[in-house]
Amino acid sequence: MNTLTHKVAIVTGGASGIGRATALLFAQEGAAVAIVDINEEKGKATAAEIEARGGKAIFILCDITRAEDCRNAVEKTVTTFGGLHILFNNAGIIRRADVLDTTEEEWDRVMGVNVKSVFLMSKYAIPYMAQAGGGSIINTSSGWGLKGGKNAVSYCASKGAVTNMTRAMAIDHGRQNIRVNAVCPGDTDTPMLRDEARQLGEPEDRFLAEAADRPLQRYAQPIEIAQAVLFLASDAASYVTGATLVVDGGGLA
Per residue in 133-149, pLDDT (tens digit) is 999 999 999 999 999 99
- Residues designated catalytic: 155
- CB-side neighbour CA atoms (13 Å) of 97: 14
Q: For position 2, what pLDDT does the model report? A: 87
pLDDT at 47 over 80: yes
CATH superfamily of 8-247: NAD(P)-binding Rossmann-like Domain (3.40.50.720)
The chain-wide mean pLDDT, for the chain, equals 97
From the list 80, 71, 68, the residue with the least C-alpha distance to 9 is 80
Q: pTM here? A: 0.97
**What are the sequence ranges of the domains in the chain?**
8-247
Contact 234, 129 (CB under 8 A): no
The DSSP symbol for 5 reads: T
Which of 87, 105, 67, 128 has the alpha carbon at shortest distance from 232? 87
